[in-house]
């Protein structure tokens, strides 16, 4: 087995172990949140506020934590989304995304 194959196998093992740990951890946290609901919600809100205060809240999936207008492509687009005929015409086709699968 080459060194590259060993590295790939090792990385897969580490990722599998990490995934299993996270799944078990998430289930345990969900159970604790059900048992101690008020404390969980209070702590969660405190942590969210702390992240927002320290600038650690993600703005998008890339992990950006601050808006850089010079680099943000959507900020350079001068046309507003609301009020345009294209945006207004699609409102009746929008559904409740929370309930759809």
For the chain, domain boundaries: 3-75
User: What's the mean per-residue pLDDT of the chain?
Assistant: 77
Residue 76, token pair as written in the block: 């350079």
Whether 65 contacts 55, CB under 8 Å? yes
Residue in the structure block whose two tokens are 């702390």:
50
In contact, 62 and 71? CB cutoff 8 Å: no
Task: Express each pLDDT in 22-64 by its tens digit.
Answer: 999 999 999 999 999 999 999 999 999 999 898 888 878 787 7
């Amino acid at each position: 087995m080459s060194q590259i194959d060993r590295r790939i196998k090792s990385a897969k093992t580490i990722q599998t172990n990490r995934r299993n740990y996270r799944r078990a951890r998430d289930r345990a946290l969900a159970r604790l949140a059900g048992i101690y609901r008020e404390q969980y919600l209070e702590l969660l809100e405190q942590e969210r506020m702390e992240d927002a205060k320290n600038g650690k809240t993600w703005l998008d999936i890339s992990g950006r934590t601050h808006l850089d207008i010079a680099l943000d492509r959507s900020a350079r687009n001068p046309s507003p989304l609301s009020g345009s005929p294209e945006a207004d015409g699609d409102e009746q086709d929008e559904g409740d995304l929370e309930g759809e699968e």
